[in-house]
Structures are given as structure tokens and as C-alpha cells.
């Protein structure tokens, strides 16, 4: 393992004020779905072109500290130079990261458990040698009638902790992502309660597995009303409840919290983050957004080479706005 101070330094840089993380680790099926929305075929070449368009955007390094890659993208290259993406991003002072979980399996008829621990240490070692400096593992917690159960939350928390320990042993900063899904009719108070339970179990397990909290990045959901809930909480209420929940359940040693956008609109994801940063907290609050950073660029591009400049402008505009939100600058 690297000296812990080096892992800690990477974690702190990933969440420094004014910067956030681009989640570009969409699986091939997810990417195909996104591309179909703009009537574009999803091939290895078109996916490489699209990611290249984002990663080569001028000034991206001013606002983006790290990029989470999917395995396919990790082995692809910047098109003009032929340099592999991890090396290219490193040259721009952007940390390359890698999604290492292997998706979901059924825990019960209505709940999921993330898989991918088999052979993980070996895979992490290879990714580090190829330039990765952090990794990501997403656990999915589903609100619903009598769920989530504590058994399911605990099983996911244990896997997150085992993954995080293996990452640190491989000199990689683990992004710990316990996502309480926003789909459903649950109220914002139910979201608060489920997220509180989840964070408690996750940090209990991280402690039990001797994970260094100063060398992780937490990637949680915000505390929102379920998208089908009749009452939708205001920007101010979401910010207040999210900060209160985190303050009660996240240790101060964690250097930063990089929120997932979870299907929020681009605007809401940015405004929620901006409002939260009006509060004094123990951590830097930043973003690790996928759709909320990419959606406008994807539409502007629409699969056409002549639209690259417009798409890059749309992308950097979102990156700038979320950068400002990390300092409550909107």
C-alpha cells in the first residue's frame, strides 16, 4: 500500500473546491439507450468518439478533477494522438478512475446486491498499473413497501467495505457509492430515514474493515422526495435535509462528498448542490454527475461530427456551473 498520506492526497484533490468528478462509466447497454435517444448507433467507435469529444473539451481540467471510466473506455485512446485515455487524462491533471463493480444480482424478489468481489484484487492491480488512481462501486438501495430491509442494506454495506479495503491495498482511492434510488412514491422524510440507516451501516462496515476514511470519497444520493411522490420538496428543503443527514452520519475524517445526480434534471442537480454549499460542513461538497453533466452535450452532438464544438460548449457550460455550485457561487 502507498503511504496513506499519498492516498489521502489523491482523495482530497478529487474533491477540492471548484472541481468535481465526471461519471463517464455508462455500461454498453446504458450507452446504447442514450445513443438511441439521439438516433445514433452505439458501436465501440461511436462510443470512443463521444467520450473523446468530452475529454478533449478545452479547459475541462479547470472544473473536472477525475473521470470514472468504463472498462471499454479505459482501454480506448484519444483520437488525435493515439494516447490511451488514462495517460491522456493524467497529462491534463485529471485522475483516471475505473468502475469495478459487475452490476446487480437479486438479494430478494424486490432488492438488489452488487456483485464483483471475485477476482477484484487482481483487476485492481492491473488497473493501477495502467494508470487508474481511483475506483468506483455502486450499491443500490430500493425504497418501497417494507423495503429496504436491514439485511439487504447490511449485505451491500459489507461488500462496499470489502471493495474499499481492496482498493486501498491496491493504492486506489475508493469511491463509496451507496445509492438510495429516487424512483418511487416515498416522501423526503422516508428518504432521510433510509439514507440514515444506510450510511450508518456503511460506516460501521468501513470501520470494521479498517478502511482509512481520509482516503475515500463518499458518493451518496441527495435527500429528495421520490420522483412519483405527490409532494416535491423545495431546493431549500432538499439542501437542509441532505446536510442534516450527512452531518449526523458521516464522520468528519472523510475529505469530501461527491453527490450522484440520480436522474435529477441538470438544473435541479446544480441548484441543490449550490444551496447545500451555503452551509458550513466538515467536508467539501461537490459533484460526481453523469447525465447532469452530459445530457445537454449529448443532445447538441446528436451523433454528428459537425456538432462537436456545440456539444463541447454545452458540456463545459455545465461543468462551469457545477464548479460554481461547489462554492455556492450561483
Instruction: Give the model confidence (pLDDT) of 168-189 as tens digits.
Output: 999 999 999 999 999 999 999 9
Q: If pLDDT is split at 50, 70 and 90, which confidence band does 3 have?
A: low
Q: What is the pLDDT of residues 21-46, one digit of tens each?
A: 999 999 999 999 999 999 999 999 99
Contacts for 118 with CB less than 8 Å, ≥ 6 apart = none
Burial group, residue 20, by CB count within 10 angstroms (0-12, 13-18, 19+): buried
Closest CA to 122 of 155, 166, 183, 160: 166
Mean residue pLDDT across the chain: 96
pTM over 0.85: yes
Looking up cell 447490511 gives 154
Alpha-carbon separation of residue 69 from 24, 25, 51, 111, 298 (angstroms): 5, 4, 9, 26, 17
Q: What is the mean pLDDT of residues 231-239?
A: 97
pLDDT for residue 2? 53
pLDDT for residue 153? 98
Q: What is the pLDDT of residues 122-139, one digit of tens each?
A: 999 999 999 999 999 999
Q: What is the pLDDT of residues 143-163, one digit of tens each?
A: 999 999 999 999 999 999 999
| Catalytically annotated residue among 165, 166, 219, 241 | 219
In a domain, 159, yes or no: yes
Could you give the 3-state DSSP secondary structure of residue 121?
helix
pLDDT for residue 330? 87
Angle in degrees, 0-180, between the axes of helices 266-276 and 308-325, rounded to the nearest 10: 30
In a domain, 275, yes or no: yes
In a domain, 15, yes or no: yes
Contacts for 3 with CB less than 8 Å, ≥ 6 apart = none
Closest CA to 136 of 220, 250, 31: 220
Lowest mean pLDDT among 3-12, 47-56, 219-228, 286-295: 3-12
In a domain, 124, yes or no: yes
Structural domain boundaries enclosing 56: 4-325
Residue 108 CA neighbour count, 13 Å, CB half: 16
pLDDT for residue 54? 98
Contacts for 262 with CB less than 8 Å, ≥ 6 apart = 179, 181, 182, 221, 222, 224
Residue 145 CA neighbour count, 13 Å, CB half: 1
In a domain, 96, yes or no: yes
Bond from prior residue into 54 cis (ω within 30 degrees of 0): no
Q: What is the mean pLDDT of residues 202-210?
A: 98
| Catalytically annotated residue among 26, 78, 177, 275 | 177
Contacts for 180 with CB less than 8 Å, ≥ 6 apart = 141, 143, 148, 191, 194, 195, 198, 220, 221
* 219 carries an active-site annotation: yes
Provide the CATH number for the domain around residue 127: 3.20.20.70
Q: What is the pLDDT of residues 66-115, one digit of tens each?
A: 999 999 999 999 999 999 999 999 999 999 999 999 999 999 999 999 99
- Decide if pLDDT at 1 tops 90: no
Cell of 41: 448507433
Could you give the 3-state DSSP secondary structure of residue 108?
strand
In a domain, 330, yes or no: no
pLDDT for residue 62? 98
* 280 carries an active-site annotation: no
pLDDT for residue 293? 97
In a domain, 88, yes or no: yes
Cell of 228: 412519483
In a domain, 77, yes or no: yes
Burial group, residue 277, by CB count within 10 angstroms (0-12, 13-18, 19+): buried
Number of domains in the chain: 1
Q: What is the pLDDT of residues 261-284, one digit of tens each?
A: 998 999 999 999 999 999 999 999
Amino acid at each position: 500500500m502507498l503511504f496513506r498520506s499519498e492516498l489521502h492526497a489523491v482523495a482530497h484533490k478529487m474533491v477540492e473546491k471548484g472541481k468535481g468528478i465526471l461519471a463517464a462509466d455508462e455500461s454498453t447497454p446504458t450507452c446504447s439507450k442514450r445513443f438511441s435517444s439521439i438516433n445514433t448507433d452505439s458501436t465501440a467507435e461511436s462510443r470512443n468518439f463521444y467520450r473523446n469529444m468530452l475529454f478533449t473539451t478545452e479547459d475541462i481540467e479547470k472544473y473536472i478533477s477525475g473521470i470514472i471510466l468504463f472498462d471499454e473506455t479505459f482501454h480506448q485512446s484519444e483520437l488525435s494522438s493515439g494516447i490511451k485515455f488514462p495517460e491522456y487524462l493524467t497529462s491534463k491533471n485529471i485522475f483516471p478512475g475505473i468502475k469495478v463493480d459487475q452490476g446487480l444480482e437479486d438479494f430478494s424478489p424486490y432488492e438488489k446486491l452488487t456483485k464483483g468481489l471475485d477476482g477484484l484484487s487482481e483487476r485492481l492491480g492491473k488497473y493501477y498499473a495502467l494508470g487508474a488512481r481511483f475506483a468506483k462501486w455502486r450499491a443500490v438501495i430500493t425504497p418501497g413497501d417494507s423495503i429496504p430491509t436491514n439485511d439487504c442494506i447490511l449485505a451491500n454495506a459489507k461488500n462496499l467495505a470489502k471493495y474499499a479495503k481492496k482498493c486501498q491495498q491496491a493504492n486506489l482511492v475508493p469511491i463509496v457509492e451507496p445509492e438510495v434510488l429516487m424512483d418511487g412514491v416515498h416522501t423526503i422524510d422516508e428518504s432521510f430515514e433510509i439514507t440514515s440507516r444506510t450510511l450508518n451501516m456503511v460506516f460501521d462496515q468501513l470501520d470494521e474493515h479498517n478502511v482509512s476514511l481520509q482516503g475515500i470519497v463518499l458518493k451518496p444520493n441527495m435527500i429528495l422526495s421520490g420522483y412519483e411522490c405527490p409532494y416535491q420538496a423545495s431546493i431549500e428543503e432538499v439542501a437542509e435535509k441532505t446536510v442534516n443527514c450527512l452531518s449526523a452520519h458521516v464522520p468528519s475524517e472523510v475529505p469530501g462528498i461527491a453527490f450522484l445526480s440520480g436522474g435529477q434534471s441538470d438544473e435541479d442537480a446544480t441548484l441543490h448542490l449550490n444551496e447545500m454549499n451555503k452551509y458550513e460542513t466538515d467536508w467539501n461538497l461537490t459533484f460526481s454527475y453523469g447525465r447532469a453533466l452530459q445530457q445537454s452535450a449529448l443532445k447538441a452532438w446528436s451523433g454528428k461530427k459537425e456538432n462537436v464544438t456545440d456539444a463541447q460548449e454545452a458540456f463545459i457550460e455545465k461543468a462551469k456551473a457545477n464548479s460554481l455550485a461547489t462554492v455556492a457561487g450561483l
